[in-house]
Structure 1
Amino acid sequence: MDKFNKNQNPTSKGVCNMEHYLDMARDGKNNVWRYILGIFIILTVFYGYGIIVPESVDTWGPLVNYLIQDFSYILYFLAVVLVIKIIHKRSFKSLITPKKSLHWKLMGIGFTIYFVLMFLFSLLPQYLADPSSLSLNPNLWGFLIFLPFLLIIVPIQTTSEELFFRGYLLQATGFLSRNFILLAILNGILFMLPHLANPEVAQAPLTAIIDWVVFGFVMAYLTLKSGTLEMAIAAHASNNLFITVISNYQGSVFSTPSLLVTSTSEATTAADGDLVFLLISILTTILIPVLYYLLMFKIPQIKKYRDMS
């Protein structure tokens, strides 16, 4: 079969948001070869750049190295856009929402909620357990130089990943099944796979893998449930900006200065063999995205913005 069934579960009046979101893929051309080619192009552009560009050149300095390395995410973003528009012949917005325009206020609310959750259930417990593990960055000037670039590039990086995983791949797998639990599980696994090359795996593989699978699952489920990618985009940007701007740690995949310097991380401590801390770390890893999902759907004021057309 060389083409997905365009008549499977057509969108009709009264169907759930999940159907609206997945059905946006039907606005374009959906031959199987187009998805194979699209995935190949996107991954080749992203990983090909990483192969061509040297990992680090000391003479350029940390900021230039960071900009050169993370330029790959700008190419990643552009590759997704071009694949959707040229190969699939549909609008870029169809990866995000079926509504007329993006809900920037909803995204701002989602960003803020996830940021607060990161503080309450990640940074604060670490400080209460060991205040000496956190300190103000002694090189504040270096951090301030990085800051404007982090505020621009990190959201591009996270949005690119959301467009590819919770947008392109989630809608593609929607042609194969409409079981949103199955789709979310598959998406969580797919999201985890490229992250296995991150340094966190060497420190505490179990915690890291659970983190990526759970985050990918919850963001996919949230996207299907709401019928829009906006809340996942907001959460992912908030998560990564919290790490890069507020509290980074040694061994993190983000080699950038942050406001606070931490001498350890949940992953590192878990790797030391503390079973209790490992369990707490895993629970925290699960708790933050799950609480985010619950808050975004249970607070009436947020529901009002979410349901706006």
Structure 2
Amino acid sequence: MNYIQQAYKGQRDLWMVLLTTAIVGGVFLLNFIFYLFSDPSDLDAAYDMMKNWPANFSLVVNLVPFAVLLGLLFLLVKYVHQRSILSLTTARPKVDFKRVLFSFLMVCTFTLVTFFIGYSIDSSEIIFQFNPGKFALLFLISIILFPFQIGLEEYLFRGYLMQHIGVIVKNKWFPLILTSVLFGIAHSANPEVGAIGFWKMMIFYVGTGLLLGIMTLMDDGLELALGFHLGNNLLASLLVTADWTALQTDAIFKSTADPSMSLLSEILMPVLVVYPIMLLILSKRYGWKNWAERLFGKVTEPPKEDYKIIE
């Protein structure tokens, strides 16, 4: 059974899918509605209020709800859908933590190398603000809470929704595209969207969602997406902060650059060049084949004997 077919291992009534999506994903929908219908000045006021909070307190307030929602998702999958969390995670007999680590190290290496190359070329808009005490607390908060934040986003978008939408529509390409778009919309209320531009950031977020979705379908599991997302968000918290980003932290460096991103070099280059290179690296390491079938193939109901929940 492939990754999307894991949804057949539990109850799949439509009301269950709608209930779980509403309870767990409702906060993302509310954020999007708030973004669409709020006056820009109200959004700015909300962001300014959070900037007045201590950085680590603000980070905790922003991350704790993800832990609650991830717990709710797991409970609903286990007791409403009557499925194992393993079936939501991977098609393998057990979670492959080596895959998580490899993807984590891949994105961390790329981020650190590119940052320090840029810093060595021009550091005029980067301030070194390392404070051992504040950074130690930030590090502790980050390693404890960010796994819940990225876990919720991966298990909800690339896991639960990818699987159940795929079972409903009987193909793989539609859930891949839809969950990537929903992933972008879920980040629409982030302050950098207003600072940089809605369409620029949507290209980046949706492109990142496609990358993570392709990883998941090609590898038959969430492990690579979990590692990549965790590495990306941890470094976003620990390495560089800025006044106009969603994460206001006591990071090692602070950017004083204007909130702007080049469409070509900072949006399209990662999405169209860097991401495909990363997929190529992963495909060589894990021997991915049959790309057309894995990304665009049909989702068929497996034999009844395969429905037993893997413990």
Fold shared, TM-score > 0.5 on shorter chain:
yes
Secondary structure, counterpart of 1:176 in structure 2: helix
Which of 102, 108, 111 is 1:118 aligned to? Answer: 111
TM-score when normalising by structure 2: 0.79
- Deviations 1:162-220 (Å, cap 9, x if unpaired)? 00000000001111345433332212101011111111111222321111100101111
Which of 190, 204, 217 is 1:198 aligned to? Answer: 190
- Deviations 1:203-248 (Å, cap 9, x if unpaired)? 2223211111001011111101110110000000011011101122
CA contact (8 A) 1:181 1:221 kept: no
Separation in 2 of the partners of 1:137 and 1:47? 36
Equivalent residue, structure 2, for 1:34: 16
Separation in 2 of the partners of 1:163 and 1:130? 39
Distance 1:115-1:138 versus aligned 2 partners, 3 A rule: closer
Distance 1:209-1:128 versus aligned 2 partners, 3 A rule: farther
Secondary structure, counterpart of 2:167 in structure 1: coil
Equivalent residue, structure 2, for 1:95: 88
Secondary structure, counterpart of 1:135 in structure 2: strand
- Which residue type is aligned with residue 103 of structure 1? D
Map 1:264-303 to 2 at 5 A.
264=257, 268-270=259-261, 277-286=262-271, 287-299=273-285, 302-303=286-287
Equivalent residue, structure 1, for 2:247: 254
Q: How many residue pairs get matched?
A: 272
- Pick which of 191-200 and 144-153 moved more: 144-153
Which of 156, 164, 169 is 1:172 aligned to? Answer: 164
Separation in 1 of the partners of 2:122 and 2:59? 30
Map 1:30-179 to 2 at 5 A.
30-44=12-26, 61-121=54-114, 123-124=115-116, 126-127=118-119, 130-179=122-171
- Which residue type is aligned with residue 222 of structure 2? L
- Which one scores higher on RCO, CA 8 angstroms, separation ≥ 6? 2
Equivalent residue, structure 2, for 1:23: 5
- Mark the runs of 5 or more structure 2 residues left unpaired by the alignment: 35-45, 289-311
Quote how far apart the aligned CAs of 1:58 are: 9.4
Distance 1:125-1:201 versus aligned 2 partners, 3 A rule: farther
Separation in 2 of the partners of 1:36 and 1:251? 35
Secondary structure, counterpart of 1:210 in structure 2: helix
Distance 1:27-1:149 versus aligned 2 partners, 3 A rule: same
Q: Tell me how large the CA RMSD over aligned residues is.
A: 2.7
Distance 1:278-1:44 versus aligned 2 partners, 3 A rule: closer
Secondary structure, counterpart of 1:264 in structure 2: coil
- Which residue type is aligned with residue 257 of structure 1? D
Percent of aligned pairs with the same amino acid: 24
CA contact (8 A) 1:249 1:263 kept: yes
- Mark the runs of 5 or more structure 1 residues left unpaired by the alignment: 1-10, 12-19, 271-276, 305-309
- Deviations 1:90-127 (Å, cap 9, x if unpaired)? 11111111222111112111100011122344x24542
Separation in 1 of the partners of 2:121 and 2:215? 32
Equivalent residue, structure 2, for 1:220: 213
Quote how far apart the aligned CAs of 1:47 are: 8.2
Distance 1:58-1:136 versus aligned 2 partners, 3 A rule: closer
Equivalent residue, structure 1, for 2:233: 240
TM-score when normalising by structure 1: 0.79
Equivalent residue, structure 1, for 2:175: 183
Separation in 2 of the partners of 1:281 and 1:45? 29
- Deviations 1:38-93 (Å, cap 9, x if unpaired)? 11121357889xx9xx9968998443343233210110110110110111111111
- Which residue type is aligned with residue 269 of structure 1? S
Separation in 2 of the partners of 1:116 and 1:303? 22
